[in-house]
């Protein structure tokens, strides 16, 4: 590689030794680890070989009495920086930063001579030599370390909750009770969402159906009267801007031509309004007036004019005794600052016209479960009487069709299970069998999904004599004056034509366009099925991929009220944690030097963690979201981004140190490992697998941190190979691909054989794979040389 080397020297800006003058004193603490290290590594030789201002050897460095030794030596020898040559920083760095707490934590460097030396190499001489080089490299690295402070970001003690359904109300109330100023933003004229509409909720515990409004009302009353809660109805999000501690939100409150503070909700206006409009509250089965209140217990308790349908006749204005109606009122722009955002915007129902074979539009008595909920509701179109829309008569039989639009791979269908429909169908079956026992209920299902304790409820409803048919109907037609449901009883292998008076389609839950709009404005990611995506469903539920934006309820995916409420409380807890803890970010983090930045935005595009954002006039990085991976720095044409916590000088010093004292014919391979890769390498040691001494590990936040000049520096200083191992984190895949391409090309351009740079996907449990990779790389290079 000598020609390559000379070429490198010509091209590389850093071939000359950097300034090595360093007046700071470094102390090295060697750990025998009760024999775990000293049985293989010749400690005396190690101690003698290290060049530092102090070198000491200890039996068990992590034991509490060593805390005293470390402190004493720091004071005695006036040490500025410390190297701990012992075990893995993953398990023990915090401990030793704590033991050396007289110094800034970033002045403490750990060298892993156990997992990366004594446990993986059996030849004592070779292991000792490597231990010396690892430790000396640590000394050189720590000399270049910069003192850093943890970054504390105090999130503003406020929250904006989008959506006033059960999820939003629950989250808001929990936050308000914890002293957080909370604003509920609801697009409709009333809060309460779908829960107030459905009339009854199922209770698998009590084996009963409970009145939803009766459960919800006390909660709503608490919300109205809470000093920390502000409710904005008829309000939409116009703009959302991100700042370091809060969001700047611009809202638009639509006018209803009514002064909300004056209206006493007497209802005289309704009596004189001449306009009839289909009533959404009753699924358009009844009509309301152009001035209306959605339902008796609506909150806020005021009337609103529906601008679209009002003919501006002014009759309501004339009869209003309190002067609440004012046709000159305009929509209002409301600015809002909120430290956190909770998206609780709920769902919509599948458009049943997309399944014309079921005749939702064609036949009056083909209805949805929500339609049935209204019909069964005592405040609904029939005052709770089960009657057909076509003729107002009681149906003799009701057939329910499950999975309408759910578990359906056709283009306009939903591939997921909507999760609640089995229980909803059973609830309505239960109510019908209880109150109208002369009516028969048939449920055509694909699978009955009554998971967990809900199975108790299924049994309870089965006892009321319902008929379950295992098959998904293909068509609803009409024969004479009866509806006919075509379904195969798949358990009997029998195609059936069920004559009935009423068909109820169990409509899928689908993501609402409003949710998608809000997600777009807050730059929050959506799932494949267009619900709000959680950062990680197992370890970061209710977090979105955007810092300080949380999600709960059906905006996140289909779920019932029970789950929505749990999730809403979880979201509130997470907001509270954010506010109370004043989140700490630890380096490495990226920092933008604003004066050098030309606002090109490439950093923002590459960052999969969504840490980079455009402030009013600058690019900014949220340290809480930043992982310090360095992808942005690699993209920046202005070199305006610095990674705090692992600077270039440290990296160069470490690379140089790990390649020092290389003998003629000796092979050295640098392995740059991210946290997962490093953990896997530790596991190789824990399991006492072996790999060649030639492997020298450098811990990095991500391969994105490594620039071509780092690589060239390594090859120039004698690296025979470079391995980069990283966990393939989904959100950074694009950045990884770009980085792999960039580094591979730079190696190619320098005339270095392409197989001297290798990339490996690291998985913590697959440490054997990493060990094999180490060994294979070494063997391949040995063969070549």
Q: How far is the CB of 409 from other proteins (least distance, A)?
A: 4
Q: How far is the CB of 476 from other proteins (least distance, A)?
A: 10
Q: Site mask, other proteins, residues 474-493, x = CB under 8 A?
A: xx----------xxxxx--x
Q: How far is the CB of 487 from other proteins (least distance, A)?
A: 5
- Decide: is 159 part of the binding site for other proteins (CB under 8 A): no
- Residues in the chain, how many? 785
Backbone angles phi, psi at 553, to 5 degrees: 75, -160
Backbone angles phi, psi at 706, to 5 degrees: -85, 125
Of the residues 168, 294, 377, 413, which one makes contact with other proteins according to CB under 8 A:
413
Q: Which is nearer to other proteins, 179 or 474 (CB)?
A: 474
- Decide: is 179 part of the binding site for other proteins (CB under 8 A): no
Stretch binding other proteins (CB under 8 A), from 63-71, 409-417, 556-564, 624-632: 409-417
d(CA 240, CA 524): 11
Q: How far is the CB of 447 from other proteins (least distance, A)?
A: 8
Of the residues 234, 289, 427, 472, which one makes contact with other proteins according to CB under 8 A:
472
Q: How far is the CB of 442 from other proteins (least distance, A)?
A: 14
Of the residues 80, 365, 408, 563, which one makes contact with other proteins according to CB under 8 A:
408
- Decide: is 409 part of the binding site for other proteins (CB under 8 A): yes
Q: Site mask, other proteins, residues 191-220, x = CB under 8 A?
A: ------------------------------
Q: Which is nearer to other proteins, 447 or 455 (CB)?
A: 447
d(CA 310, CA 662): 87
- Decide: is 499 part of the binding site for other proteins (CB under 8 A): no
Cis before residue 588, ω within 30 degrees of 0? Answer: yes
Q: Which is nearer to other proteins, 12 or 486 (CB)?
A: 486
**CA dist list (Å): 532 to 416, 517, 529, 535, 738:** 15, 11, 9, 10, 27
Q: How far is the CB of 411 from other proteins (least distance, A)?
A: 9
Q: Which is nearer to other proteins, 337 or 475 (CB)?
A: 475
| Whether the Cβ atoms of residue 321 and residue 145 lie closer than 8 Å to each other | no
- Decide: is 407 part of the binding site for other proteins (CB under 8 A): yes
- Decide: is 473 part of the binding site for other proteins (CB under 8 A): yes
Q: What is the DSSP letter of 358?
A: G
Q: Which of 399, 389, 392 is nearest to 365 (CA)?
A: 389
Report the 10 Å Cβ neighbour count for 635.
22
Count of residues binding other proteins (CB under 8 A)? 23
Q: How far is the CB of 362 from other proteins (least distance, A)?
A: 17
Residue 221 parent element (H or E): helix 212-225
Q: Which is nearer to other proteins, 260 or 475 (CB)?
A: 475
Backbone angles phi, psi at 200, to 5 degrees: -125, 145
CA 293-297-298 angle, 5° bins: 45
d(CA 760, CA 677): 9
- Decide: is 638 part of the binding site for other proteins (CB under 8 A): no
Q: Which is nearer to other proteins, 42 or 489 (CB)?
A: 489
Q: How far is the CB of 406 from other proteins (least distance, A)?
A: 9
Stretch binding other proteins (CB under 8 A), from 234-242, 383-391, 470-478, 572-580: 470-478
d(CA 72, CA 107): 16
- Decide: is 471 part of the binding site for other proteins (CB under 8 A): yes
Radius of gyration of the chain (CA): 34
Residue 779 parent element (H or E): helix 767-784
| Crossing angle between the packed helical segments 89-99 and 675-686, to the nearest 10 degrees | 100
Q: Which is nearer to other proteins, 484 or 552 (CB)?
A: 484
| Whether the Cβ atoms of residue 366 and residue 483 lie closer than 8 Å to each other | yes
- Decide: is 359 part of the binding site for other proteins (CB under 8 A): no
Backbone angles phi, psi at 164, to 5 degrees: -110, 30
d(CA 410, CA 631): 39
Stretch binding other proteins (CB under 8 A), from 2-10, 64-72, 468-476, 506-514: 468-476
> For binding to other proteins (CB under 8 A), which residues are involved?
357, 403, 407-410, 413, 446-447, 470-475, 486-490, 493, 495-496
């Amino acid at each position: 590689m000598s020609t390559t080397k000379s070429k490198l020297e010509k091209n590389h800006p850093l071939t000359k030794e950097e300034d090595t003058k360093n007046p700071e004193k470094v102390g090295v603490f060697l750990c025998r680890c009760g024999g775990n290290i000293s049985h293989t590594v010749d400690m005396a030789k190690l101690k003698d070989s290290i060049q530092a201002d102090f070198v000491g050897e200890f039996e068990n460095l992590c034991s509490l009495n060593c805390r005293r030794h470390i402190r004493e030596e720091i004071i005695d020898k006036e040490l500025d920086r410390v190297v701990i040559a012992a075990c893995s920083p993953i398990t023990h760095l915090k401990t030793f930063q704590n033991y050396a707490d007289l110094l800034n934590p970033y002045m403490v460097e750990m060298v892993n001579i156990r997992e990366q030396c004594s446990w993986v190499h059996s030849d004592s001489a070779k292991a000792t030599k490597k231990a010396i080089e690892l430790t000396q490299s640590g000394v050189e690295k720590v000399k270049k370390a910069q003192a850093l402070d943890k970054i504390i970001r105090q999130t503003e003690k406020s929250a904006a909750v989008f959506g006033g359904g059960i999820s939003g109300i629950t989250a808001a109330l929990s936050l308000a009770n914890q002293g957080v100023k909370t604003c509920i933003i609801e697009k409709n004229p009333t809060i309460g969402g779908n829960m107030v509409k459905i009339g009854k909720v199922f209770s698998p515990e009590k084996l009963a159906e409970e009145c939803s409004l009766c459960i919800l009302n006390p909660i709503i009353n608490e919300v109205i009267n809470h000093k920390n809660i502000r409710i904005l109805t008829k309000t939409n999000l116009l703009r959302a801007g991100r700042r370091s501690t809060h969001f700047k939100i611009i809202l638009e409150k639509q006018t209803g031509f009514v002064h909300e503070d004056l209206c006493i909700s007497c209802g005289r206006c309704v009596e004189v309004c001449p306009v009839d409009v289909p009533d959404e509250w009753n699924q358009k089965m009844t009509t309301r007036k152009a001035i209306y209140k959605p339902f008796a217990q609506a909150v806020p308790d005021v009337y609103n004019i529906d601008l679209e349908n009002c003919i501006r006749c002014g009759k309501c204005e004339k009869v209003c005794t309190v002067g609440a109606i004012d046709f000159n009122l305009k929509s209002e722009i409301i600015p809002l600052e909120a430290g956190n955002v909770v998206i609780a915007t709920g769902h919509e129902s599948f458009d049943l016209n997309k399944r014309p074979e079921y005749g939702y539009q064609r036949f009056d008595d083909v209805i949805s479960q929500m339609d049935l909920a209204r019909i069964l509701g005592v405040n609904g179109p029939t005052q709770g009487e089960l009657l057909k829309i076509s003729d107002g008569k009681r149906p003799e039989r009701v057939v329910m069709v499950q999975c309408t639009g759910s578990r359906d791979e056709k283009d306009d269908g939903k591939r997921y299970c909507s999760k609640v429909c089995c229980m909803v169908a059973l609830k309505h079956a239960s109510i019908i069998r209880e109150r109208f026992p002369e009516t028969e209920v048939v449920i055509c299902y694909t699978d009955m999904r009554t998971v967990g304790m809900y199975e108790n409820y299924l049994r309870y409803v089965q006892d009321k004599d319902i008929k379950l048919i295992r098959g998904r109907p293909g068509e609803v037609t009409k024969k004479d004056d009866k509806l006919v449901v075509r379904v195969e009883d798949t358990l009997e292998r029998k195609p059936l034509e069920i004559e009935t008076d009423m068909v109820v389609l169990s409509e899928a839950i689908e993501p609402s366009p409003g949710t998608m709009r809000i997600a777009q404005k807050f730059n929050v990611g959506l799932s494949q099925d267009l619900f709000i995506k959680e950062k990680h469903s197992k370890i970061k539920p209710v977090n979105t991929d955007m810092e300080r934006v949380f999600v709960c309820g059906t905006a996140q995916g289909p779920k019932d009220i029970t789950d929505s409420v749990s999730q809403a409380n979880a979201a509130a807890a997470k907001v509270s944690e954010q506010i109370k803890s004043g989140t700490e970010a630890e380096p490495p983090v990226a920092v933008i030097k604003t004066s050098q930045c030309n606002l090109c935005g490439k950093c923002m595009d590459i960052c999969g963690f969504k840490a980079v954002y455009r402030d009013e006039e600058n690019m900014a990085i949220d340290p809480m979201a930043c992982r310090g991976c360095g992808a942005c720095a690699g993209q920046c044409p202005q070199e305006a981004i610095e990674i705090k916590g692992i600077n270039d000088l440290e990296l160069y010093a470490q690379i140089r140190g790990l390649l020092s004292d290389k003998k003629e014919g000796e092979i050295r391979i640098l392995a740059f490992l991210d946290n997962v890769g490093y953990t896997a390498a530790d596991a190789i040691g824990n399991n006492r697998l072996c790999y060649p001494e030639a492997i020298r590990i450098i811990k990095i936040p991500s391969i994105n941190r490594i620039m071509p000049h780092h690589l060239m520096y390594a090859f120039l200083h004698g690296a025979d190979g470079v391995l980069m191992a990283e966990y393939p984190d989904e959100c950074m895949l694009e950045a990884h691909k770009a980085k792999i391409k960039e580094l591979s090309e730079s190696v190619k351009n320098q005339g270095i054989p392409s197989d001297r740079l290798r990339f490996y996907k690291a998985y913590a449990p697959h440490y054997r794979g990493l060990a094999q990779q180490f060994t294979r790389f070494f063997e391949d290079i040995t063969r070549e040389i």
